[in-house]
Structure 1
């Protein structure tokens, strides 16, 4: 029993630590995750902005793995470029050191359990107040308490009396350093958390179970083991997403190898930077090592961002060219903890892409009205058919994707947003049908050599231009919530199209009464009507965006 009890206590304490970190990270991501992820995809204008974004997001979510997985997912979805991802990854590596500092500063200066239990209790009671309004933040608070309960348990069990026979690891030679390095890689990869492993190493070192050199080697090894999440997230992703994961691996491997080559001078530098030097608290020293290593690696590699990207592109070749007339939107499990926000952002981008397809189709109508000749048929007939088929595929794929999103754990607000997006996709598909139908009417008029008076075509142009302005309005504001003022602008555009349509149809009827060619005039009226339908679809989307 003297052997079994400490081992069981170790397993239990480790479970508290890991689950507490997961609960804390999950709670923070659920509470602020949507704002953080949208910031992550937007605030990456240059390498320094990218670095700072990655740094602060990781400090908040307490997980470089979560940040890196989000980055790989964004690159795969086209929400972030490969160049932008590099700076974020570098920043995330620095941000992850905050956990080690929390453990070092708060973990050993007072009785942790006396602090952890009240924090967990406060989190629980907060979770049942106000119908769970603060549930996610309460979850983070409970995770924080559990983290320190686990740390308290580890501190009690990681003593020479309890587990000294098993974990007493000392040594300063190359072999000992290599063993510590490999142990750091393997255990971190198994735990999927360099932060958790750092807490374990700090606790062991503080209680004298591992030497300073061994703790340093294990910490360096954990930096390579921590890349496992990014590698797993990139499996099955596109070339740029795999390159992003590779750069993450290269960053950690390069910095670690450099630190191992200059191991003892590096430790001397850390010792010099730590207040108290060799007499300093070893927990603070390990945290300083973690921070200095990440910061120096970033300083060295950040100017080499472009060469790193070039190297990654040479190692990972471009994806095979895909046929442009086939659309596929994969619903993957790349997103850390199935965070719905990233899925929604990917769907929003797909909707924006579909809006571009419809806009390009509409532009062909303007070309057809102004240039009614055989060249128009040769250049745009087949292309329009392919575009209409592509829009149909987008409609099917995006709708299917959004329905899968609904099956995840979504808030009422997110569910409403997903429902709105499904309606918008339906409207866009109807617009693509109207665009294609109008183009076919123009082609038929050319093939049948129908005659129209020049002033009739000229009357159509401002009508089409008004509809084009409305479509551009939708294109600019797609995925945004419209204000009352913008909805009023949309209503004015819709009313203008309706007024135009009435005037054009009235003129066409008068020409019919005057003996004009029936087929030509009816086709003209059909063109007027289908363009009006496009305006109706635009206004419907405007109303949906206002209610979003």
Structure 2
């Protein structure tokens, strides 16, 4: 074993994983939004979820990436548990495509020579088209594809050295359970079942291990890949933990059942017409393993969902701070508590707007998966918290409204609810353009950079003006000039942007700039109107006509 080139094997494994990462990142950028839309529209039935999960994983070439993305969408409320379950099952089947590609082409031809053009063209496209998002990501995909196969070539060559030095008969005496455990540990270590399978295919190709031993290790690889998902769900919501549990049960139960009948299954595969090539036999076994799991679990998804709903049950904690401790039998105190809740919601709305605009940074650095998914968890969590506050305030308001309250108290209550609604509207306006604002912050051209600076400057000034109204309860009820001028400011900003475009290029579409202009100014107006409602109780939604006619607060 002294001639075994450990460094060549390690380099091959590292380049393979790097290639996988490059392909995943590029395809995520090219199809990430489409993936999200697919999940939302076409996963209402478990069988649809399985098909979507299989297809997307076949494209992204990583069941772990797809599963972690599904976990993130589940935590953000984009998906519910019922929709996500089918996707998880399909992701396991979709990841077998990588093994089919490797077994079909990776060991039949000199793939090192083929990988060089992909690495060359991919690198050049990445460098020369750095400002063109689509071409740059296509270059990254080609680069990753080339790295993937070059890494396979290095691993294959280094493992073949073992075949010349090791007595294969020794491995035949080793229990299949040992290979099962090796598959689990190796996959948990390198965090990629595809990489483990490539190593096993290389070992079979070099005749270092037998087919049944590789099959046992493949089962271990399927079980080991659950570690990534479990780690991704540990600090998550109950639904994320439930989905991670389903993923673990799926791989462990189906894997152990197949392991029990491993000899019979391999005999059946070898008896088939296709069962003449050990490499194809292994990937066929891997496909059978995941397909068997789907067929085993599919009829029980409904009962499983009900069972999972009773797992990781957390005692619901109120998100509001004051109204939970105030009885509605004392309307005066109840309204004061609502006003305090509204004050807190106002501060959260301001923070949410600033986070989206890049005017304020989160308290902690975004994690790797936050960046992969393109939307900071901080903002998603804050918005969901605000919506939860809205729900609790609304429920409390309905109870209070049904009690015996005076006319003045009813007027105050109506004003509070109108202010609440407008604050949520303001947050939603910015939520709708959060991806556009992120695109502007990542832009490289001067035009979108200058546009973002204008948006940030205007927003800073308007937020300061809103804060002055919030602190001054004696302000006469009228539309401030800076607030009433926001609508005309939108037209002016769009006109200035088009004028600047005559001499500057942009890497952000004009439709994006126009949409941001309208939505961010509407959001600021809604927040300003919410504060006016908060300070001056009236019964209509504030607009320029009703606000001008409204009497000042006593």
Shorter-normalised TM-score: what interval? 0.5 to 0.7
Deviates more, 1:29-38 or 1:44-53: 29-38
Aligned partners of 1:266, 1:418: CA distance in 2, in Å? 64
Task: Label 1:382 to 1:249 Cα distance change in 2 as closer, same or farther (>3 A).
Answer: farther
Is the counterpart of residue 159 in structure 1 residue 160 in structure 2?
yes
Aligned residue for 1:237?
A: 236
Aligned partners of 1:427, 1:61: CA distance in 2, in Å? 43
- Give 1:434 shift: 11
Aligned residue for 1:81?
A: 80
Is the counterpart of residue 110 in structure 1 residue 109 in structure 2?
yes
Aligned partners of 1:247, 1:356: CA distance in 2, in Å? 27
- Structure 2: unaligned runs, 5 residues or longer: 322-344, 353-361, 477-510, 526-535, 548-554
Aligned residue for 2:2?
A: 3
Aligned partners of 2:167, 2:443: CA distance in 1, in Å? 48
Aligned partners of 2:406, 2:7: CA distance in 1, in Å? 83
Aligned residue for 1:299?
A: 295
Superposition pairs of residues 158-307 of structure 1, within 5 angstroms? 158-159=159-160, 161=162, 164-165=165-166, 170-171=171-172, 176-273=175-272, 275-277=273-275, 280-307=276-303
Aligned partners of 1:265, 1:162: CA distance in 2, in Å? 28
- Give 1:39 shift: 2.5
Aligned partners of 1:332, 1:319: CA distance in 2, in Å? 27
Deviates more, 1:63-72 or 1:327-336: 327-336
Aligned partners of 2:167, 2:460: CA distance in 1, in Å? 61
Which deviations, in whole Å up to 9, do the C-alpha atoms of 1:335-394 show, x marking residues without a partner?
6372243448x857965885897799999999999x9962783798499489859959x9
Aligned residue for 2:543?
A: 532
Aligned residue for 2:374?
A: 341
Aligned partners of 1:534, 1:3: CA distance in 2, in Å? 87
Aligned partners of 1:433, 1:387: CA distance in 2, in Å? 17
- Give 1:257 shift: 1.1
- TM-score w.r.t. the length of structure 1 is 0.67
Aligned partners of 2:227, 2:122: CA distance in 1, in Å? 31
Aligned partners of 2:254, 2:461: CA distance in 1, in Å? 50
Aligned residue for 1:320?
A: 315
Aligned partners of 1:146, 1:202: CA distance in 2, in Å? 18
Count of aligned positions: 451
Which deviations, in whole Å up to 9, do the C-alpha atoms of 1:427-456 show, x marking residues without a partner?
999999999x99xx9xxxxxxxxxxxxxxx
Aligned partners of 1:64, 1:139: CA distance in 2, in Å? 20
Q: Do the aligned residues in 1 keep the contact of 2:411 with 2:537 (CA within 8 Å)?
A: no
Question: Secondary structure of 1:68's match?
Answer: helix
Aligned partners of 1:429, 1:81: CA distance in 2, in Å? 39
- Give 1:208 shift: 0.3
Task: Label 1:86 to 1:420 Cα distance change in 2 as closer, same or farther (>3 A).
Answer: farther
Aligned residue for 1:50?
A: 49
Aligned partners of 2:107, 2:60: CA distance in 1, in Å? 23
Task: Label 1:145 to 1:298 Cα distance change in 2 as closer, same or farther (>3 A).
Answer: same
Aligned partners of 2:307, 2:465: CA distance in 1, in Å? 45
Aligned residue for 1:143?
A: 144
Aligned partners of 1:419, 1:72: CA distance in 2, in Å? 36
Aligned residue for 1:308?
A: 304
Aligned partners of 1:535, 1:202: CA distance in 2, in Å? 74
Q: Do the aligned residues in 2 keep the contact of 1:395 with 1:429 (CA within 8 Å)?
A: no
Deviates more, 1:294-303 or 1:356-365: 356-365
- Higher helix proportion: 1
Question: Secondary structure of 1:339's match?
Answer: helix
Aligned residue for 2:89?
A: 90
Which deviations, in whole Å up to 9, do the C-alpha atoms of 1:185-226 show, x marking residues without a partner?
000000100011111101111110110110000000000100
Aligned partners of 2:138, 2:212: CA distance in 1, in Å? 39
Aligned residue for 2:358?
A: none
Q: Do the aligned residues in 1 keep the contact of 2:242 with 2:312 (CA within 8 Å)?
A: no
- Give 1:23 shift: 1.6
Aligned partners of 1:119, 1:244: CA distance in 2, in Å? 37
Deviates more, 1:35-44 or 1:231-240: 35-44
Q: Do the aligned residues in 2 keep the contact of 1:112 with 1:149 (CA within 8 Å)?
A: yes
Q: Do the aligned residues in 2 keep the contact of 1:69 with 1:233 (CA within 8 Å)?
A: yes
Is the counterpart of residue 377 in structure 1 residue 409 in structure 2?
yes
Question: Secondary structure of 1:158's match?
Answer: helix
Q: Do the aligned residues in 2 keep the contact of 1:157 with 1:163 (CA within 8 Å)?
A: no
- Give 1:129 shift: 3.1
Aligned partners of 2:453, 2:175: CA distance in 1, in Å? 55
Cα RMSD after superposing both structures: 5.3
Deviates more, 1:22-31 or 1:75-84: 22-31
- Give 1:60 shift: 0.9
- Structure 1: unaligned runs, 5 residues or longer: 442-479, 495-524, 537-548
Superposition pairs of residues 394-473 of structure 1, within 5 angstroms? 410-411=442-443
Task: Label 1:348 to 1:190 Cα distance change in 2 as closer, same or farther (>3 A).
Answer: closer
Task: Label 1:51 to 1:375 Cα distance change in 2 as closer, same or farther (>3 A).
Answer: farther
- Give 1:135 shift: 1.4
Superposition pairs of residues 120-135 of structure 1, within 5 angstroms? 120-133=119-132, 134-135=135-136
Task: Label 1:59 to 1:361 Cα distance change in 2 as closer, same or farther (>3 A).
Answer: same
Q: Do the aligned residues in 1 keep the contact of 2:3 with 2:161 (CA within 8 Å)?
A: no
Aligned partners of 2:21, 2:407: CA distance in 1, in Å? 62
Q: Do the aligned residues in 1 keep the contact of 2:115 with 2:149 (CA within 8 Å)?
A: yes
Task: Label 1:203 to 1:158 Cα distance change in 2 as closer, same or farther (>3 A).
Answer: same
Task: Label 1:249 to 1:418 Cα distance change in 2 as closer, same or farther (>3 A).
Answer: farther
Task: Label 1:424 to 1:242 Cα distance change in 2 as closer, same or farther (>3 A).
Answer: farther
- TM-score w.r.t. the length of structure 2 is 0.67
Aligned partners of 2:466, 2:270: CA distance in 1, in Å? 67
Which deviations, in whole Å up to 9, do the C-alpha atoms of 1:76-107 show, x marking residues without a partner?
11111111111010010000001100100110
Task: Label 1:421 to 1:207 Cα distance change in 2 as closer, same or farther (>3 A).
Answer: farther
Aligned partners of 1:189, 1:391: CA distance in 2, in Å? 46
